[in-house]
Amino acid sequence: MASIETAIRAILTGASGVTDLVSTRIYPIAAPQSVDRPFIVYELQGTEPVDSLTGTSTLTFSSFHISIWSDSYATTKSVSAAVLEALGDYTGTSDTINIDWLRHDNTMDVDAWTADGAEFPLYGIDQIYKVAYQV
């Protein structure tokens, strides 16, 4: 069943700038423990149906969070730029969801940390997006 989450993933997997860097390593909520890097994790942060004078309309606002992880800061920045290019100011239909607008709200570096048993630290960037769509 189509949802805003599957629509966002479809936009990302349809963008060659993204898939050239991460292939299909785009996961909801959490990545598998032994995943190759770089990879992307997306997570719905909240959904707000819009009311009208006659009741609930078909318009919905949501926010979601994209996390990008890699072994190098430079690669993480490259994937971040590709994701922003794919999602920033997107309008159209994705996975049967009509997206009125999709806007980038914020980008921030995430503290580097060493995973258990990993030789290299992970570098992360978080992006926040807002979207208005019809359900």
**Domains along the sequence of the chain with CATH:** 4-134 (3.30.2000.30)
pLDDT (0 to 100) of residue 37: 94
The helix/strand/coil state of 21 is helix
> Buried (b) or exposed (e) across 28-67, using 16+ Cβ within 10 A?
eeebeeeeebbbbbbebeeeeeeeeeeeeeebbebbbbbb
DSSP result, 107-126: EEEEEEEPPTT-SS-EEEEE
Percent of the chain residues past pLDDT 70, beyond the cut? 93
Q: Which residues pair with 90 in a beta bridge?
A: 102
The answer, yes or no, to whether residue 54 has pLDDT greater than 70, is: yes
CA–CA dist 23, 21 (Å, integer): 6
Give tens-digit pLDDT for 93-112. Answer: 999 999 999 999 999 998 76
- What global pTM score does this model have? 0.90
Six-digit token string for 123: 């570098």
DSSP assignment, residue 17? Answer: H
Q: What is the mean pLDDT of residues 32-61?
A: 90
